[in-house]
Amino acid sequence: MSTEIINKVYPETIKILSDLIGFKTISGEDNNELINYCDDKLKKIGAVSFKTSDDKKKRTNLFASLKSKNGSNKKSIIFSGHTDVVPVSKNWKTDPFVATLIDDKIYGRGSCDMKGFIACTLAMAPILSNMKLDRDIHFSYTFDEETACQGAPLLIEELKKRNFNNSLCIVGEPTNMKIIDAHKGCYEYTTYFEGLAGHGSSPDKGVNAVEFATKYINKLLHLREILKEKSPKNSIFDPPYTTLQIGGISGGIARNVIADKCKVDWELRPIVKSDGVFVNNEMDKFVNEELLPEMKKIHPNSKIEKEVIGEIIGFERESDSEACELVAKITGDNSRDSVSFGTEAGLFQEIGISTVVCGPGSIEQAHKVNEYVSVEQIKKCLGFINEIRNY
């Protein structure tokens, strides 16, 4: 029966995936067209939904629900996926925003991360709605996960108000349909430096923002070495310590002009929350006690300001996880693993929702030129969703 359903639903899944890839939902850009597409499909089969948006209503989260037919006390299931994708670069062999099937691989930006999972949930939704569901099924589609999970916290806050903690959550990030039960956090920052411009021939009369930014970076790199030494014994992560990375630096307008502005993009991947606290405290102390006073000696209006782009909490391993146990029963695979990339799983876990990361495709294909998801993985995901009704 499962094979028959998969074969029946597969063509529609590919059609939906093709539609989803066609929406250019790059992080930070308007995703309403895709969200409305998903909302319309789910409402047609009786789902009820609500949305949460950013201040300008350009980026929106969707949470839709199919209610059980017999009022069972089983915990509801949340299928969670993000709608945004990372930008595309050159050298694609196909149009990144047109789904293209080649050798049983579906190419397109977001095919793997993670529109393939969303397509599977949407394609299976009518099948689930026609069954006598003994638990509620929810569909959570968020914006801007790729930029420090900016959308999900708005949705999570609404779920808290509506007491959605009696649920299990399956975050469909690409894991080859394997259970992932832990990952590091992801803290993203941009630090801005504002000094005093001047002629390059008189560097002492200005405050070079680029030079102070390099001092800031050197301090971060020093802390990075300390974090390596703080690696706990029996760490489940690879690498086994909190990582720190400088993503970019930009400033100045010409070689012969003292740069009055500069910015540094950097990130942390904490294995424990205390590492994030440690780095931020050390950097704030360094700025307030050393860097900024040195800048203000020459120019009292000098500034150093840190912007928090996002602080994604980690996903902690739990010895007794209902969500992991459910997935293991369905797949027959009891193995569990951890990853270094971040997801929205920790946000659901933080409000008491048992959560697991499990979805089609491999992270090895995500964010790359010629991103793809295999037909085999799509069919495995469809089979998995279909089997949920038996548990």
Give me the pLDDT at residue 85, please. Answer: 98
Degrees (nearest 5) of the Cα angle 98, 102, 105?
85
Q: How far is residue 389's CA from residue 386's CA, in Å, rounded to a whole number?
A: 6
How confident is the model over 303-357, as pLDDT tens digits? 999 999 988 889 999 989 999 999 999 999 999 999 988 899 999 999 999 999 9
Give me the pLDDT at residue 8, please. Answer: 92
Give me the pLDDT at residue 341, please. Answer: 86
Beta bridge partners of 305: 192
Give me the pLDDT at residue 71, please. Answer: 67
Task: Tell me the two tokens of residue 246.
Answer: 């400088």
Residue ranges of the chain with per-residue pLDDT less than 50: none
Domain range 186-312, CATH class: alpha beta
Question: What is the fold of 2-181+316-390?
Answer: Aminopeptidase (3.40.630)
Domain ranges of the chain: 2-181+316-390, 186-312
Other CB atoms within 10 Å distance of the CB of residue 238: 9
Non-local (6+) Cβ contacts of 129 within 8 A are: 45, 46, 47, 66
How confident is the model over 84-140, as pLDDT tens digits? 999 999 999 999 999 999 999 999 999 999 999 999 999 999 999 987 788 999 999
Q: Do domains 2-181+316-390 and 186-312 have the same CATH topology?
A: no
Give me the pLDDT at residue 389, please. Answer: 82
**Tokens 């690409």 found at:** 174
**How many DSSP H helices and E strands does the chain contain?**
10, 17
Backbone angles phi, psi at 318, to 5 degrees: -120, 135
pTM above 0.75, yes or no: yes
